[in-house]
Structure 1
Amino acid sequence: MKLPKLISPKIFPILLVNFIGILGYSIVVPILIFIVTDLGGNGFIYGILGAMYPFFQFIGAPILGRLSDKIGRKKVLVISQLGTFVAWTLFLLAFILPETELWSQNTNITGSYVMTLPLVIIFLARIFDGFTGGNISVANAYLSDISTDEDRNSNFGKMGAATSLGFVLGPAFAGVLASTILGEVLPLILAAIISLVAIFVINTQLKESVPCVVNTGKVGLRSLRRFFQVEHKDCYQEGELQAGPQKTSLKMVLKEPGIPLLYLVYFLTFLGFSLFYAGLPIYANTILEWSSTNLGVFLAYSSLIMIIVQGPVLTKLEGKVSNEKLILVGSFVLALSFLLLSYQSLLIIYLANTLLSIGNGLMWPSFMALLSRTGKSTMQGTIQGYGNSMGSIASMFGLILGGVLFEFLATKVFIIGGMIFLIITVLMILNFTQRRKPILEVT
C-alpha cells in the first residue's frame, strides 16, 4: 500500500520502461569485453566497438527527439525498442557465423587483433541499435512533460534509481547466465526477450505525454518527408494544416538561457565516464584477471549504491538543496573516485566504486532535472535529443581514446577522468559565485 506514496502511478509506466530498457542493455556490459577478445579483438577494438553506439546515437537521437515533439513520445519509444530488438537479433547471428578472418593488424597504436566476420556483424548490431537508441532522451522528455516544479527533482531521482536497478540486476543476471553451458549466448537471448517486453509495456501501459492532442493515426509519407526536412511544431491534431511551420535547430536551442553551459557539462560528464567504461573492462580482464561474474558483481554493487542515493536520499534532499549544489558536490566526489581508481588495490577500487556511485547518484539526476526545466517545454524533446548528442560525441571520442590510452597508461587513464570532473566542479563554482543566485536561472 505504500507504493503510491513512493512512486506516483503517473510516472510508474515510464520508470518501468526505462528499467526494462536498461536491464536489457546492462546484461551485455560485463560480457562484451570477453566476447570481443574471444572473437579476435583486443582493447582497441573494444573501444571502437563501444564508440559505434554513441556515434550513431549522435545522428539518431536529435531526429528521434524532434519526431517525439511532433508525433508523440510513445510512438518514438516503440520505434527505438524495435531497433534494439533487431540489434540483439543481429548480435545473436554473430554466434552462428564461422570465425572467418577478414584482416589482422599489429601496431604500436592498435595492438594485435584479428577482425573476424562475427565481429563485423556485432559492429553492425551496435550501429543499428545506436541509430534507433534515442529512447533515453525521449524518456527524459516524457518525464519532463509529466513533471511539475514541485516533483521534478524527485521524479528524475526515481528515474535514476530505476536505471540503477536495471544496472544491478543486469550484470548479476549476466554473471550467472554466462556461466551456464550456453555461455554468452543466453544473456543475449534474454536481452532480446526484454526488448520485446519493453515494446509490450510501452503499447499497453504508457499514455502519450505531449501536452496537446497528438495524431493517433499512422505516420504517413508526407509526415516523414516534412520530418526529415527538420520541420518542427509544438504538436498537431489530425487533419490540422499549419502555415509557416517553425524549425528548431541547434542554433535556436543554444539561444535558450542556460543551455550552452548545461551542454558543456553534459559533454564533459560523458567524456569522463566513457574513459571509465572503456578502461574498466580492460582493467578487469587483463590486470585484475576478473571473470564476467566478478565484473558483474562490481557493477551491480555500484548500481545498488546509486539506487539508495537516487531514491530515498534525493527525495529527502528535495527542496532543501538546489540542483546546482548537488551537481557541484557530486562532480567533486566523482573526481575523487576517479583518482582512487588509478590505485591497483582491490580495497581502494571498491572504495572508489562506492564514491563514484554516490557522486553519480547525486549529480546526474540533479543535472537532468535542471536541464528539463531549462528552455521551452515544447522544445524538451529537441533539447534532450541534442543533449544526448553531446553525450554521444563525448562517448565515441572517450571510448576510443580510453581503449588506446589504457594500452599506454594502464590505470593512470582514470586520473584524466578525475581531472575532467574537477573541471565540471570549477565551472559550477564559478557560475555560482559570479551570479550569487540559482545557476542558469530560467527566465
Structure 2
Amino acid sequence: MNKKQTRPIVILFFVQFLVMMGFGIVIPILPFLVQDLGGNAISLGIFMSAYSIMQFFFAPFWGRMSDRIGRRPVLLIGISGYGLTFFLFGVIHQLWLLIAVRALSGLVSSATLPTAMAYLADITEGADRSKSMGLIGAAMGLGMVFGPALGGWLGHYSFSTPFFAAGALALAILPFAWFFLPETLNSSSARSNKKIPRFSLQIFKDPLLTLYIFNFVINFSMAMFETTFALLAAAKVGFGPKEMGITFTILGIFGVIVQGGLIGRLVSRFGDAPLVKTGTYLCGFALIFIILAPNTVTLVMATVLFMVGNSLTGPTSSSLVTKQKSGSQGASLGLFQSFASLGRILGPVIGGALYGLAKGLPYITGAILLLGLVIVAQQKLYAYGKTEIKRPARS
C-alpha cells in the first residue's frame, strides 16, 4: 500500500472502531437504564434488536446511495448522524424515545460499513484489499473490546455519561474524514451502475447469493454463540462474569491478530476463496469442540478456534464480493451486510430457544449449517476465486 492509500485506510479504521465501540458502550449499562425507565426484559430485547433490524433494511439503501452520489457524502452522513444519535441518548428519559433513537442509530450507522468497504474496494486490489478489509474487521473487534469496558467505567458516574462520550468520539473523527477522505467514485462509474442489486426476490438470481448466505450463516452462528456461551460455560466449567470477561478479551486479541496482522499474508499465499472455505470449516468444527470440551483450557481453546475461523472468513468473503463485479460494489456490500444483520437478528432468538431445549443444540445446529454450507458450496467458492475482476488500484 502507498501513502495515499494508507491515510484513508487509517481514517476508516478509526471510523469503524468508534462505531463498534459506540455499539458496545451501552451493553454494561443497558439493563439498568431500561429498568430505571420502567422497562422489562421484553423492552430490553426490543431495544437491542431495533439496531440490527434497521441495519438489515438500510444497509442496502446506503450501499446503493454510495454507488450513485459517491462514497464520501454517505460516509459523512453516517458518521455525523451516528454521533448525534448518541447525544440524543444522553438527554432522553422516556423508554419509547430511547428505543426510537436506537433504531435511528442503526439506520445511520448502516451507512458506514458497506460504504467504507466499497471505498476500500475503490483504492485497493488483490491481497491489499483483503488486508484492508481485515483491518476494518480488526477495528470492529477492538471497538467491541473497549466499548463495554468504557461503558462500564463511565456508567459508574451516570447513565448519560457513556452516551455523551461515544457521541463526542464519533464526531471527533468527522473533521479527519472531511479533509482526508477524497471521493473515489468518479462520475462515469456512477452513471454506469444502471442495474444496482436490490433486496427483492431477484436476489435469488444474484451471482453473489452464495457469499450473502455465507455471511448470514457465519453471523447467525456467532450470534447463537454469543447469546448462549455464558450459560453453557457456567454449566460446564463454572464460569462467572470475571472468567467470561477474560475469555472474550482473549477472543478479541486473536481476532485482531488474524484480521489486523495475518490476513494480507495469507491471502497473498492462498487466495480469498480457500480462506473462506478454511475459516468456515474451523468455525464448524470449533462449535463441536465447544460441546465436547471437558475442562476450562480445552473450552477456551475451542472458542479461540471459532474466533480464528470467523476472522478468516469475514474479510475474505467481503473482499470476494468486491472482486466479482466492476461496478455497484456499494450496493453489493450493502446486501452482504444486510444478510449479516439478519443473522444477528435471528441468532439470539433461535439460539436461546434451542438452548432451552438442549444446551448443546445451538452449537450442533451452527456446526451443521456451517459444515453443510461449505461442502455444498465448494464449487461455487472455487468459481469465485477464479473469476476475480482486475481493476487498477487508484494511487
Shorter-chain TM-score tier = 0.7 to 0.9
Structure 2-normalised TM-score? 0.83
Distance of 1:300 and 1:91 partners within structure 2: 27
1:246 paired to 2:194: yes
The structure with the largest helix share of the pair is 2
1:177-206 CA-to-partner distances (Å, cap 9, x unmatched) read 44x343x54433322222222333322332
Corresponding residue of 1:279:
228
Corresponding residue of 1:159:
136
Corresponding residue of 2:164:
189
Distance of 1:90 and 1:294 partners within structure 2: 34
The alpha-carbon deviation at position 136 of structure 1 amounts to 0.9
Corresponding residue of 1:224:
none
1:319 paired to 2:317: no
Report matched runs for 1:130-149 at 5 Å: 130-134=106-110, 135-149=112-126
The alpha-carbon deviation at position 248 of structure 1 amounts to 2.2
Judge conservation of contact 1:23–1:167 (CA < 8 Å) in 2: yes
**3-state secondary structure, aligned to 2:270:** coil
| Residues 13 and 181 of structure 1: CA distance in aligned 2, closer, same or farther (over 3 Å) | closer
| Residues 37 and 320 of structure 1: CA distance in aligned 2, closer, same or farther (over 3 Å) | farther
Corresponding residue of 1:108:
none
Judge conservation of contact 1:141–1:384 (CA < 8 Å) in 2: yes
Structure whose alpha-carbon radius of gyration is higher? 1
**Aligned partner of 1:88: which letter?**
F
Distance of 1:399 and 1:204 partners within structure 2: 40
Corresponding residue of 2:317:
367
| Residues 175 and 266 of structure 1: CA distance in aligned 2, closer, same or farther (over 3 Å) | same
**Aligned partner of 1:148: which letter?**
E
Corresponding residue of 1:107:
none
Corresponding residue of 1:201:
176
**3-state secondary structure, aligned to 1:151:** helix
1:300 paired to 2:270: no
The alpha-carbon deviation at position 307 of structure 1 amounts to 1.2
Distance of 1:358 and 1:345 partners within structure 2: 20
Distance of 2:294 and 2:165 partners within structure 1: 34
1:286-338 CA-to-partner distances (Å, cap 9, x unmatched) read 996844x7655433321111111113322322321121111111112112333
Corresponding residue of 2:16:
18
Distance of 1:49 and 1:283 partners within structure 2: 25
Which 5+ residue runs of structure 2 have no aligned equivalent?
A: 390-395
Question: Size of the alignment, in residue pairs?
Answer: 382
Structure 1-normalised TM-score? 0.75
Distance of 1:186 and 1:146 partners within structure 2: 38
Distance of 2:233 and 2:34 partners within structure 1: 14
Corresponding residue of 1:350:
300
1:272-299 CA-to-partner distances (Å, cap 9, x unmatched) read 12222333467689996844x7655433
Report matched runs for 1:40-439 at 5 Å: 40-42=39-41, 46-94=44-92, 97=93, 118=95, 120-134=96-110, 135-178=112-155, 180-182=156-158, 184-210=159-185, 212=186, 234-235=189-190, 246-250=194-198, 258-280=207-229, 290-291=240-241, 295-342=244-291, 346-376=296-326, 378-410=327-359, 412-431=361-380, 439=385
Distance of 1:151 and 1:137 partners within structure 2: 18
Distance of 2:239 and 2:127 partners within structure 1: 48
| Residues 14 and 311 of structure 1: CA distance in aligned 2, closer, same or farther (over 3 Å) | same
1:62-107 CA-to-partner distances (Å, cap 9, x unmatched) read 111111111111211222223323432343345xx3xxxxxxxxxx
Identity of counterpart residues, as a percentage?
25
| Residues 344 and 85 of structure 1: CA distance in aligned 2, closer, same or farther (over 3 Å) | farther
Judge conservation of contact 1:327–1:367 (CA < 8 Å) in 2: yes
| Residues 362 and 249 of structure 1: CA distance in aligned 2, closer, same or farther (over 3 Å) | closer
**Aligned partner of 2:318: which letter?**
M
Which 5+ residue runs of structure 1 have no aligned equivalent?
A: 98-116, 214-232, 237-241
**Aligned partner of 1:198: which letter?**
I
Distance of 2:284 and 2:68 partners within structure 1: 39
**3-state secondary structure, aligned to 1:11:** helix
| Residues 285 and 55 of structure 1: CA distance in aligned 2, closer, same or farther (over 3 Å) | farther
Higher deviation after alignment, 57-66 or 28-37: 28-37
**Aligned partner of 1:235: which letter?**
A
| Residues 393 and 168 of structure 1: CA distance in aligned 2, closer, same or farther (over 3 Å) | closer
Q: C-alpha root-mean-square deviation of aligned residues, in Å?
A: 3.4
Distance of 1:197 and 1:203 partners within structure 2: 11
Higher deviation after alignment, 378-387 or 163-172: 163-172
The alpha-carbon deviation at position 254 of structure 1 amounts to 6.1
Corresponding residue of 2:26:
28
Higher deviation after alignment, 165-174 or 404-413: 404-413
**Aligned partner of 1:157: which letter?**
G
